[in-house]
Each structure stands twice: as structure tokens, then as C-alpha cells.
Amino acid sequence: MTRRAWAAFAAMSVIWGLPYLFIKVAVDDGVSPAFLSFARVALAAVVLLVLAWRAGSLASLRGSWVWVAAYAVAEIALPFPLIAAGEQRVSSSLAAILIACVPLLVALLAIRFDNAERATGIRLVGLLVGLCGVVALVGIDVAGKSDELIGTGLIVLAACGYAIGPMVLKRKLADLDARATMGGSLAIAALVLAIPAALSVPSEVPTPEALGSLVVLGLICTALAFVVFSVLIREAGPSRALVITYVNPVVAVALGVAILGERPGTGAVAGLLLILAGSWLSTDGRLPPGFRRRPNTVVPA
């Protein structure tokens, strides 16, 4: 692990723990999921496309637009509005805990699409433990609450997109310039979301808190985050990059409790612990190489 990889890891651990708070603020203030997602994506797309154009890297996308579009749909156009719609029905803490099951979904997808990563032994145990976490969360805190069950289902669907996105990035787009790849992906996602957003434009100007949330989501949680995440994948690899999933929900739950006054229930706490344990076991029950310090070994610069 280089210093650059460690810096990207630390940044992503915090940056992607933030969106759930700001999404909750915006949707609770009346901003629709489609409009929120479009505004967030369009703002980030402008920033990254300008950076890519100034760097002369947009040409690198030639011949890769099909995979850029696939990544845009899986990682952005579907998950963003699904999470926002889910947070209309559940707390930001619960949303973050559910998204923490992404490594479990990656392990499940690997059974079909990556034989080398097939879940056996301790990894299979991890999948079962993580599944128990989801069952505990839903069964204790959400059972019998139809609105929250719908919200939970929407967020789990978003997590499926988040599991597919890095696989596409790793296999088809890893060698392209990050600013061009992410800018192009965000532009495509903005086009996909434009019509739903136009049909759900707020009837009045959003509150200052909601507008501030849109700016933070666009500039920090999307534009900056996507570039840093691509750097992290390139420097540390997809499996190591997904370790941020162990930290993000803790940040999100802490923010939900401290700022929004949320109080996670017994099922949420038990679910978080089991999902994190299952995710850890599904990545072989250890931190990936480079995250472990050996005696008398210095992390390379």
C-alpha cells in the first residue's frame, strides 16, 4: 500500500459515509429522489468533464462508451434514486447499514462471473453470517412496517448496482483516465435521469439546508468521491477498495445519531455487526495484503 493508496482509503472512508445524512436532509425537505439524483449527478458531471477536457483525456473514452454507459447505469443512474427513495421511508443509519452488504453481493456475483473468487470455506460462512445480519435487521426493526420494508427493498436493489459497478470498472475501464471515465459516466447518468427529474421538479425553491445538501452531494460525495475511488481501485485493487464498506456505515450511523437524532434499534445494531462480520469473512476473514503490517516492515511510500 502506497501513501497515495492510504490517503485515498482514508478519504473514501469518510466521504462515502456522508451522503446518507445529506440525502435524508434533502428528501425530508421535499426534494424528490429523481431531482436530487439528477442535480447531484449533473453538478458532478460538469466539474469532471471540464477537468477531463482540460487534461485532454476525453479522447481516451473512444471505443469504450458501451462499458462507460453500463457502469453509469449500474453505479449511478439506478442506485442514486433508489437510495433517495429508500431514505424517504427509512433512516439514514438503516440505509447505510444495508449498503454495507455490498461485499456480500460481490461475493455472490463472483460465484457466477468469477470462478477464482468463488465463495467456499470461510468465505461461504461469511455470506451466511451477513445474510443473518440482513434477516436480523429486517426481522426485528422492519418486520410488519410495509413502508419501511419497501424502503429496505429499494436500498438493497441499490446495493446490487454498487456490487456490479466495480466489477465493470475493474474489467473494462481500469486503464482509462479517471476524470474522463467518471465524467462520461456521470454525463450519461444525468441524461438517463433528466426526464424523471423534469417530471418531479420541486414546486417551490428548496430550503437552504436542502440546497446545501445538493451542493455537498454533487461536489464532494460525487465529483471528488468518484475520482478518489478510481484512484483507490487503481492503487489498491477492487478487493482492498471495498474494505471502505466496513467503515462507511459506522461514519453514517454516527452522523445520523449526532446530527439527525436517529436511534438505531436492536435489529439495526445486530444487523450492522453481523453484516460487517460477514463482509469481513467473505473477503477471507482478514484484511487484504497491504492492509496488514508485518513486524519491522514499513509501508512503501
What pLDDT shows up at residue 109?
81
CA distance 23 to 27: 6
Mean pLDDT, 10 residues at a time, the chain of 301 residues: 80 90 95 96 94 88 92 95 96 88 78 66 76 76 82 93 85 82 93 95 92 95 85 72 73 90 85 79 56 38 33
Model-level pTM greater than 0.85?
A: no
CA distance 159 to 76: 11
What pLDDT shows up at residue 296?
36
Helix (H) / strand (E) element for 92: namely helix 92-99
DSSP designation for 288: P
Structure-derived torsion over alpha carbons of residues 77, 241, 24, 210, reported in degrees to the nearest 10: -70
Burial of 37 (0-12, 13-18, 19+ CB in 10 A): buried
Residue 297 near residue 289 (C-beta atoms within 8 A): no
Show me where the domains of the chain are located: 3-282
Buried b (16+ CB within 10 A) or exposed e, 203-219: eeebbeebeebbebbbe
DSSP 104-148: HHHHHHHHHH-GGG---THHHHHHHHHHHHHHHHIIIIITT-HHH
